[in-house]
Structure 1
Amino acid sequence: MYRILAKLNKLLLPSFTKRQLDLAKAKKWQLAIIAWRYFVTSRALEN
């Protein structure tokens, strides 16, 4: 399930590393997206 979510995240959500976003200057919604992507990716790698 998490692998499917990880693929959807890659397709639908923006990649902030490509934009070289500074985490200190990130807005709350950007931090929420980063946290969600981290959570899903880490769960997908566990299996």
Structure 2
Amino acid sequence: EEGYRQAEKLMPNARRLELFSRTNRKGWTVWGDETGKFGEAA
């Protein structure tokens, strides 16, 4: 979680992508075979 917060803080207007994600995250584009497996992160 800390890594996501830091990325969002350092690049507030950037488009964000997480590869091989299992969790949907607001403000991020996620790609992976199991995307959405655990719902959305808090």
TM-score clears 0.5: no
Structure with the largest fraction of strand:
2
TM-score normalised per structure 1: 0.30
The structure, 1 or 2, with the larger RCO (C-alpha pairs under 8 Å, 6+ apart) is 1
TM-score normalised per structure 2: 0.32
